[in-house]
């Protein structure tokens, strides 16, 4: 026979658990409703930090190549922020005029999450994909450039996933696969062939 106070506690805990679950579902639905009006403006500039050398793999549309270039930028110490700033530096190259690989205003990297098992998740702004030029080659240049730059500057990254505004998307602009994880070795081979 279970004591009465244990029974009451169990029932209270169960009710609390399901109430919390229901509340979370409501919050999730509300967030999804507001998702469409998400902010696509560029995000604030990076935090200050010691300057470090980073290797950018920059796509050049006219020649159809990707070339490595070293630049020196201020990087924070925290690994996720550091990875994000590396990719933002790459985006900066593409957003300048004239650009070797033009991208739409507002194209940016919101966050980079470095997970166990060598997985990196890159969350980009909506403008990064919505306004990207469409084509197999031009999209491939973008993806390869992002993945190669990340793997060159963040040791231990083996697979990269690209999200758009926190969500999965089928393709970047109709061609390049964003559902799959990118194998860093395969992308490195591709970049070597494109150099």
Residue pair 131/107 in contact by the 8 Å Cβ criterion: yes
Residue pair 84/92 in contact by the 8 Å Cβ criterion: no
How many residues in total does the chain contain?
195
51-60 and 159-164 strand pairing: unpaired
Among 83, 159, 165, 182, binds another protein (CB under 8 A): 182
Residue whose CB is less far from another protein, 58 or 194: 194
Site residue total, another protein (CB under 8 A): 39
Given the rule CB under 8 A, which of 15-23, 39-47, 68-76, 90-98 is the region that contacts another protein?
15-23
CB of 194 vs another protein, minimal distance in Å: 8
Residue 179 sits in the site that holds another protein (CB under 8 A): yes
Residue pair 17/10 in contact by the 8 Å Cβ criterion: no
Residue whose CB is less far from another protein, 10 or 68: 10
Place of tokens 């860093």: 184
Rounded to whole angstroms, the Cα distance separating 100 from 16 reads: 56
Residue 83 sits in the site that holds another protein (CB under 8 A): no
Residue 11 sits in the site that holds another protein (CB under 8 A): yes
DSSP-assigned beta bridge partners for residue 32: none
Residue pair 80/111 in contact by the 8 Å Cβ criterion: yes
Rounded to whole angstroms, the Cα distance separating 125 from 48 reads: 22
CB of 116 vs another protein, minimal distance in Å: 21
Residue 8 sits in the site that holds another protein (CB under 8 A): no
Q: Which residues bind another protein (CB under 8 A)?
A: 1-2, 7, 10-11, 14, 18, 21-22, 25, 29, 33-34, 61, 64, 133-138, 140, 143, 170-171, 174-177, 179-180, 182-183, 186-187, 189-190, 193-194
């Amino acid at each position: 026979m279970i004591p009465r106070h244990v029974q009451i506690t169990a029932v209270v805990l169960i009710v609390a658990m399901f109430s919390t679950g229901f509340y979370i579902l409501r919050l999730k639905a509300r967030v999804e409703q507001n998702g469409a009006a998400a902010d696509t403006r560029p995000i604030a500039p990076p935090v200050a930090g010691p300057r470090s050398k980073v290797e950018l793999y920059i796509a050049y549309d006219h020649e159809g190549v990707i070339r490595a270039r070293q630049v020196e930028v201020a990087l924070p110490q925290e690994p996720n922020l550091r990875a994000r700033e590396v990719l933002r530096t790459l985006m900066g190259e593409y957003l300048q005029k004239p650009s070797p690989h033009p991208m739409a205003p507002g194209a940016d990297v919101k966050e980079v999450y470095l997970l166990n098992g060598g997985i990196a998740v890159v969350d980009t702004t909506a403008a990064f994909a919505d306004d990207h030029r469409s084509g197999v080659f031009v999209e491939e240049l973008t993806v390869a450039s992002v993945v190669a730059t990340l793997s060159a500057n963040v040791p231990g990254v083996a697979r990269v996933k690209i999200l758009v505004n926190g969500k999965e998307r089928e393709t970047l602009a109709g061609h390049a696969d964003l559902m799959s994880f990118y194998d860093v070795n395969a992308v490195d081979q591709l970049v070597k062939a494109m150099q």
